[in-house]
A and B are shown apart, each in its own frame.
Chain A
Amino acid sequence: MSPVIIVLAVISAILAVSMLFARNPITSALCLLGVLIMTAGIYGLIGEHLVATIQLVVYAGAIMVLFIFSIMLLNLNNEETDFKTKPGVFFGAIALGMTVFGFIIYGLNEHFMNHRNDVTAGQFTPERIHELGGNSKVLAHALFTQYYVSFEVISLALLIAVVGAVVLAKRKFD
């Protein structure tokens, strides 16, 4: 396995932990931004160039800017940023998280050790993708032919959501 992917994975795990324990929402948002950029790097390294670009432009670019803008707009003071929970709640949540993590690892172990060969592989091997003209071309072709209706529906949903967001944010309550 590639050492660069290991480095990116370790950095994003550290950033995720520091996002959980950061006191200031801005720090948390910047940690999440780091996680998203590291994830985009991993996508690029395993050869998914189009997904990496979309992740950088839309996720790390647009959505995180929206988050950081609204954190600054709301002007959260330190009384909003404290992070107090009862010890019972804290350790209960940690135990629940460990349980979920354990179940996912158990499922992954089952898949990779026992059921790896049960699934039939698709046709898009790296050689085939290279033959067809690269990752972006293959994905775009599938998106605009097979998944054309889903693409149109999702763009309409995004338009409605953004109009709804403007209406909600500008609305004056009496």
Chain B
Amino acid sequence: MTNDVLIQILAAFLFTMGMLVVLLRRDTIMVLLGIELLLNAANLSLVAFSKSMGMVEGQLQVFFVITIAAAESAIGLSILVNLYRNFGSIKTQSATTLKG
């Protein structure tokens, strides 16, 4: 088992854990944290494959993914602040009406 295989298995495991966090946790903030873990697992897989094949496209893709993750977390957290202001709770099942 080489480093590549180990890193790919770790990326698969982190992806599974991120998916379970998104599915199982009730807080909206935990869903956002799970999405960050999913993106991190995808980044790890991209970098390891790109490195082992002698390319740079994967690493450049990772820069773009990290930028998108920053934008997504900024928007998501401001939506979350609004959610807390309007419903008094950030659980996913408390946001049931469109009109706040």
Contacts and interface: CB of A to CB of B under 8 A. Distances in A.
Contact of A164 (B67, B75, B86): B75
Contact of A19 (B7, B16, B17, B91): B17
Interface in B81-100: 81-82, 84-86, 89-91, 100
A73 B81 contact: yes
Contacts of A63: 36, 69-70, 73
Contacts of B47: 43, 46, 48, 51
Interface residues of A, number: 83
Contacts of B63: 51, 54, 143
B3 A76 contact: no
Q: Is the interface of A mostly helix, strand, loop or mixed?
A: helix
A59 B82 contact: no
B82 A150 contact: no
Interface in B47-84: 47-48, 51, 53-56, 59-60, 62-64, 66-75, 77-82, 84
A5 B70 contact: no
B44 to A, nearest CB: 6
B10 A162 contact: no
Contacts of B85: 173
Nearest to A5: B3
Contacts of A97: 16-17, 19-20, 23
A93 B3 contact: no
Contacts of A6: 6
A5 B6 contact: yes
Contact of A147 (B12, B17, B60): B60
Interface of B: 1-10, 12-21, 23-27, 29-30, 32-33, 36-37, 40, 43-44, 47-48, 51, 53-56, 59-60, 62-64, 66-75, 77-82, 84-86, 89-91, 100
